[in-house]
A = this chain, B = another copy of it.
Amino acid sequence: MTAHDALSALLGDRFTTAQAHRAAHAQSETHVTGGLPDAVAYPETTAEVADLMRICAAHRLPVIGWGAGTSLEGHALALHGGVTVDFTRMDRVLDIRAEDMLVRVQPGITREALNRDLRATGLFFPVDPGANASLGGMAATRASGTTAVRYGTMRDAVLGLEVVLADGTVIRTGSAAPKSAAGYDLTALFVGSEGTLGLITELTLRLHGQPEAVSAAVCGFATMAQTVDCVIETIQSGLPMARIEFLDPAAVAACNAYSGQTLAETPLLLVEFHGTPASVAEQAARFGEIAQSHGSTGFRWAEQPEDRSALWKMRHAAYPACLAARPGATAIVTDVCVPISQLAQAVEETRADIAASGIPGPILGHVGDGNFHAILLIDPHSPEDRATAKALAARMATRALRLGGTVTGEHGIGIGKLGYMAQEHGAAWPVMGALKTALDPLNLLNPGKLVPPHDA
């Protein structure tokens, strides 16, 4: 029996080689494109995923997991053909355990759908990468976002997984207990493995109580150094910020134009606090004092839900706002992360580099984590623009490494960053390759990604 026949027998019309399905899974939200799968599968159960994997292993067919397709680095593109496994039909909440503050979900559920289902419980899932990504994809790429400074990244949010391995074996990692010292941390190994070690078919996620009170503020600074010093002192003082976001003057200008705000076009911080009414008020007051001692200007509280909502709507719309700042442009979105002590230098050098390039590149980021992005706006028809932006992005990545950081804080490696793995990890990169070979000796799972090339 051919692989095609076996997979059709397994999945019926949920296995397809139709061009429209293949093409829909050869795209990404960014400039990263390419890689047409031979077929697309839409399993509904773990057993189907395991059977599919066994069939593909027998026929040496690559297998690529697909969540919501919101990756910015082309993680889910089928570089060597094979079968793309689309988890859209595995999108259920399996079990809400409010007493344990846990939820078990299938990988295809998106974070917005999950939080809708959780609303009545008083709990929520805090990791917020902006895009309405699938939880399976967020785990596979170790996603994070604006709330990581308080609630952590997917590394912290995932307590356990069910995974289908390269030979079709189904394993469970972790347990429902809050912690364990029983053996290798396989959960952490699969989180961030970008589909190269197994297919995630179920996740157990930590939840948090919906905050009783929320307060937010915005303030400006004359210099990047003052901005970062304010952030550092806030962190050191132990203030539990729920978010602390940075926009550079170009990003503020773009947001003003797009969202009808009138914020001063200086380095800007947006902060948010979660807690009881009294603790939120105290945190906000303390932050105000710290910000003032670092020369903050234009301090504005947003205590009313509608003011807060307007601020965060503006922040969440920063990407389209930046795009609108150069009509007709497309964007190359960078993503580096450095130790906070190096953040001012990293941002200032990046701003100067962008200014000298002639390409617009607003900067924004999650400064509590040392993580920031430049939105490099290029003319899609200009090879010069593209080359200039790629050179800027490359210098950002190597600058982050020089300052003791990482080439990706949250977007992952995918296709775009594979070239930096050797430089970032040195002798540890081949170790990742050895682990990959141990778990996927035939190199079937998302081949061409994350680990050293097989023929190297």
**Contact mask for chain A residues 417-437; partner B; CB cutoff 8 A; 1 contact, 0 none:** 100110011111101101101
Interface centre among A235, A410, A420 (most CB of B within 10 A): A235
**Contact mask for chain A residues 372-389; partner B; CB cutoff 8 A; 1 contact, 0 none:** 000000000000000000
Task: Please name the residue on chain B nearest to A165 by beta carbon.
Answer: B431
Give bound CA distance, A316 to B137, whole Å: 43
CB < 8 Å neighbour of A186 from B99, B101, B123, B431: B431
Q: How far is the CB of A195 from chain B (nearest CB, A)?
A: 12
For A188, list chain B residues within 8 Å (CB). 155, 185, 188-189
A141 at the interface (CB under 8 A from B): yes
A171 at the interface (CB under 8 A from B): yes
Interface of chain A residues 156 through 179 with chain B (CB within 8 A): 156, 165, 169-173, 175-179
Whether A102 and B437, one on each chain, are in contact in the complex, defined by CB atoms closer than 8 angstroms, is no
Whether A192 and B186, one on each chain, are in contact in the complex, defined by CB atoms closer than 8 angstroms, is no
Give bound CA distance, A302 to B420, whole Å: 54
Give bound CA distance, A378 to B335, whole Å: 58
Whether B278 and A99, one on each chain, are in contact in the complex, defined by CB atoms closer than 8 angstroms, is no
Whether B286 and A282, one on each chain, are in contact in the complex, defined by CB atoms closer than 8 angstroms, is no
A19 at the interface (CB under 8 A from B): no
9 CB-based A-B contacts, threshold 8 Å = A100-B339, A101-B236, A142-B180, A177-B369, A181-B408, A182-B417, A183-B450, A240-B240, A278-B279
Known pairs A177-B339, A181-B412, A208-B238; list 19 more (Cβ under 8 Å). A141-B181, A144-B179, A148-B179, A155-B185, A170-B427, A172-B426, A172-B428, A181-B406, A182-B407, A182-B412, A183-B425, A183-B450, A184-B192, A184-B432, A185-B192, A186-B432, A188-B189, A435-B438, A438-B438
